[in-house]
Each structure stands twice: as structure tokens, then as C-alpha cells.
A and B are shown apart, each in its own frame.
Chain A
Amino acid sequence: MAGTAKSYDATKIVLGPADLWLNVAVPSAGARLTVAADLTPDASANPSAIHLGMTKAGCTFEYKPEIQNFGSDELTAPHLSRIITESLSIKGEFLQVYDWSILEKITVGGTKTINTSTTSGFHQLQMGGLSAISTYPIALIGQDINTSTLYWVIQLYKTFNKSGFTFSVTRKDQSSVPFEFDGLAITTRTAGDQVGNYWKSLVAGA
């Protein structure tokens, strides 16, 4: 009788930091986000990407299925299980509360104005009165722990920030804004690939 090989593999762990990008592009069917050699979204393929910048303690990705078990009067244990709903999210707290491009994206009902006049310039975010929600794709990109040119990506194809915009101002700590991007399904994509993708590159710059 032969034993079975154990799998203690330190090259398969994830260790941050990682960068969160908003408003990246949606990859075509069967494809993945195009990432440049410096492990950022490729500028040509993702011309509207916005870097979320610094976070307080990184990001948390969650995939949470709700499972329903079906049983029968005759059996003591369930005989069938099905996924009823799935929720995918990326959450954390970001620090750059002065970044108006980020603020406009994370406040579902906010609109930024950037006035660069040298005599009366200002940046602002006006809120209140809108009811439509704009959604966009996001991607979390981190470096492979084993090879600096390789990376992993968690992309959600269609999201919005359900946490709104909350921050406290105190002399004792820097302000931070909690965010939670919920993944929505793109119903026209193939079942199984409608909400997001977690993948790792095997070739640099590919």
C-alpha cells in the first residue's frame, strides 16, 4: 500500500499588498483582464481605470453561496443540495478621502466637479437627488509571492459600492472610508462566468 503525497506548498499562498482598481474594462468572453508588466491594468485595454490608492488594512474578498438542502420524510439526512443565491464582494477602508475621482465612483449618487481655475479653483462632490445607480467593473491585483513578474487578479465584472460614504474626522487618527463593492451578474455572459473571476498568471505580461 502506498501513501498519498501531502501538499505543503509555500508558493501557493497569497501575501499582500494588492491594489484595487475601479472602472477597469470588462474582458471579452473567455478572456481575462489585460495586465501590464508593472502589474497594473494595461492602459490601452483599460483606459478609464482609477486606482483606489491606499487602504487602511488591505481588502477582503468574499464569495458566499447560500445553499439549500432538500430532504425527505424517509431519510434523516438531506439527499440534495443546490445553490440558491451567491454573493461576491470586495471590501475594505480607503484612506484617500480627497480623491474626487474615487469619491465620485464610490458614492452611487455623487457627482464631482473639478475646476482648475488659478483664481477660483476647487474640487467638489455634490450629493443628493439622483436615483439611478451607475455600475462598473473592479479588479484587485496582487503580486505572486514566488515570482515578481507574475500576479493574481480578482475581478468583479459589474459592481457598485453599497457602503456609501462615511468618515470621521479626529485629531487622533487619519480619516478612512469603509467600502463594500457588491458583484452583480451580467446576464448575457456564460453561466458560471457572470459575476467575476479569480485567476493567476503563469506567464509574465500576459
Chain B
Amino acid sequence: MATQIPAGPWIEEKLGKELYETLALEYGACKPEPGFRPALDLTTAFKAQEEAKGKATPKAKE
């Protein structure tokens, strides 16, 4: 299951080291290194995730 993307900004200080590195790798942006820890622009992926949530079929009432 894909890791849930929180709202931006997607910086390490906000996400925490573990989630930052997971999101960077999972969404294909990059593998952060000690001298390369840029912010991630996950706008497109975040929008897609939110749209998918909105389109999820509600459970039928019994």
C-alpha cells in the first residue's frame, strides 16, 4: 500500500527523517544523501491521492 502523503511543505524538518526518505524513494524523486536533502515537490502525487480519496465508493448501507 502506498505511503500516505501529508499536506506540504514536504521538508525533512516537518516530515521527520524516516517519512521524508520513504516518500522521496517511493514517489521516485530521489534517494536523499548526507549532502543532498532537498525539499520534495509532491504536489502532483498529493493531488492524485486526495482525488482518489474523494472518488472512493462509499460503503452501501445495510
Are A and B subunits of one complex? yes
Taking CB atoms, residues of chain A closer than 8 Å to B38 are 23-26, 48, 136-137, 158
Partner of A26, one of B9, B30, B34, B45: B30
Q: Tell me the interface secondary structure of chain B in the complex.
A: loop
Given contacts A45-B9, A188-B25, A188-B30, contact A28 B39 (CB under 8 A): no
Contact A34 B30 (CB under 8 A): no
| A137-B30 Cα distance, complex, nearest whole Å | 11
A27-B44, A28-B45, A47-B11 known; A157+B30 contact, CB < 8 A: yes
Among residues of B, the one whose C-beta sits closest to the C-beta of A188 is B31
Counting contact residues on chain A (CB < 8 A from B), the size range is 20 to 34
Can you name the residue of chain A whose Cβ is closest to the Cβ of B26?
A28
CB of A43 to closest CB in B, whole Å: 8
Q: Is the interface of A mostly helix, strand, loop or mixed?
A: loop
Which chain B residue has the least Cβ–Cβ distance from A137? Answer: B38
Are A28 and B31 touching (Cβ within 8 A)? no
Cross-interface CB contact of B30 among A48, A133, A189, cutoff 8 Å: A189
**CA–CA, A47 and B11, complex, Å:** 8
In the complex, which residues of chain A have a beta carbon less than 8 angstroms from the beta carbon of B42? 28, 45
B40 contacts which of A26, A135, A190 (Cβ < 8 Å)? A26
- Ordered nearest first, which 6 A-B pairs have the shortest CB separation? A29-B28, A25-B41, A47-B9, A25-B39, A31-B44, A28-B27
